[in-house]
Structure 1
Amino acid sequence: MFTGLVEGLGTVVAIVPNGPGVDLTLEPAASLPEASLARLGDSVAINGCCLTVIEIRDHRWVFQAGSETLSRTNLGKLVPGDSVNLERSVRPTDRLGGHFVQGHVDDLGHVDQILNDGDWTTMWFHVPPRLTRQMVSKGSITVDGVSLTLVDVTDDRFSIALIPHTLQVTTLGQRRVGDFVNIETDIIGKYVEKLTLSREKGRGDRE
């Protein structure tokens, strides 16, 4: 479980094929707080996708990503030199400043529009319609592992307002129109949709 509060950035150092997947080596930024350093076996959200640290080499973290992960997230589009958002799993005693994030990416979206207003940015994302059914204005959404507040939601798009700090300390400040992003909807939205559909089906069966 994560909070969607990115602890720091990492740089892709190497991507080595390994069976149907890859070994992914990342180098955490020097600015990453010491308390955020990972240990062997830790769960780390990389652009919002939960992976396990399988090896630590000279302060670099090594992960394994399978074919399913590579096909359903933007980790399959990474190349050496790319930046990624990093967050270790939350501890029971940690402050929950974002929202409950599972690290299970629902699908890929892409940047559809970027509107700049001084140092602030409004960013629109295009996503499959099945995901917007789990979104509401002022609700929570995770984009590339960043916990954000939804502004507007349409049938196949949503917008978020990004403050200068978020643009500076996460990869969202590097995104351009057309870039793919990992999307995880709020787990509460998933349960509400499931409950609603179950009730509607139940009423239909009784009629």
Structure 2
Amino acid sequence: MFTGIIEEVGNVLSIHRSNSGAIISVGCNHVLSGVKDGDSIAVNGVCLTVTRHDSAGFQADISNESLRVTSLGQLKSGDGVNVERAMAATGRFDGHMVAGHVDTTAQIMDISRDGNSWKFRLRLHQPECIRYFIERGSASIDGVSLTVFDVDTATASFTFNLIPHSQSLTTLTTKKSGDVVNIECDLVAKYIERLLGFGTSGATPASQGGVSMELLRQHGFM
């Protein structure tokens, strides 16, 4: 489990692809403190398992599924990446619950200045995921916990602002219109949808008809 509070911007030392997936080496410093092989580190929001590490960085395997669903396959040597260690049980929960399991990607449609922040407008590549977005809700964008607004279901698009603190500590300021970022939707929303889909009888979502307005009313959500 992660929080979406980026600890460090690392850099891709190498990424080697094969038919079985890819192996990535990430140069970093701070996140190596206390790390051991087998630990989880999120790279641009994707939970990866450390297979090797030394004083210069760590190495991890990337499955073909992760290459298909995320933007990790577009990385090249020298690229900056957002990295975060798994949250310690005794740590502060400063962001929101992030599993490191990317749901889809999104394309940056527009970037503009908004006071001392940068405003990003994104469109999801899987439009159905927009149902997990609410006004002033949270989403993980390339691993960064951010508040979304101007959610448009019809176009599967939304906006977020990047404040100065996040500008200095993440890779998002290096992005430009047309770039692709990883998106993890709100974990709680996905679990609620799944549980409501089964109804009170324990029947499958298909036999219950999934989530409906009437079902939400029955369970006190409206």
Normalising by structure 1, we get a TM-score of 0.90
Contact 2:197–2:211 (Cα < 8 Å) also in 1: no
The percent identity for this pair of structures is 37
Give the Å deviation of 1:152.
1.5
CA offsets, 1:143-184, max 9 Å, x none?
A: 000001112200210101110111111011111101110000
| 1:52 equivalent among 36, 40, 49 | 49
| 1:82 partnered with 2:90 | no
Unaligned runs of 5+ in 2: 200-207, 213-222
Shift in CA distance, 203/97, structure 1 to aligned 2, threshold 3 Å: closer
Alpha-carbon distance in 2 for matches of 1:203, 1:85: 35
1:134 paired residue number? 132
The corresponding residue for 2:151 is 153
Shift in Å, 1:185: 0.5
Confirm whether residue 116 of structure 1 aligns to residue 113 of structure 2. yes
Q: Give the letter for the 2:65 counterpart.
A: E
- Give the drift of 1:196: 5.0
The amino acid that maps onto 1:15 is I
Partners of 2:159 and 2:210 lie apart in 1 by 34
The answer to whether the Cα contact below 8 Å between 1:134 and 1:193 also exists between their aligned partners in 2 is: no
Q: Distance in 2 between matches of 1:129 and 1:152?
A: 15
Q: 1:152 and 1:51 mapped to 2: Cα distance?
A: 32
Contact 1:133/1:193 (<8 A) preserved: no
- C-alpha distance in 1 between matches for 2:172 and 2:113: 13
* Count of residues in correspondence between the two structures: 201
**Partner Cα separation in structure 2 for residue 71 and residue 80 of structure 1:** 19
Aligned to 1:5: 5
Change (3 A) 1:203 1:79: closer
Question: 1:55–1:202: structure 2 CA closer, same or farther, 3 Å change rule?
Answer: closer
Structure 1 runs of 4+ off > 6 angstroms?
Answer: none
Closer/same/farther in 2, CA of residues 164 and 202 from structure 1, 3 Å limit: closer
Deviation at 1:38, TM superposition (A): 2.7
Q: What is residue 203 of structure 2 aligned with on the other side?
A: none
Which whole-Å CA distance do the structure 2 matches of 1:149 and 1:105 have between them? 17
TM-score (norm 2): 0.84
Aligned counterparts of 2:97 and 2:151: Cα–Cα separation in 1:
20
Q: Which digits, 9 at most, give the CA deviation of each residue in 1:50-98, with x for residues without a partner?
A: 0000001442200110111111111100000000000000111110000
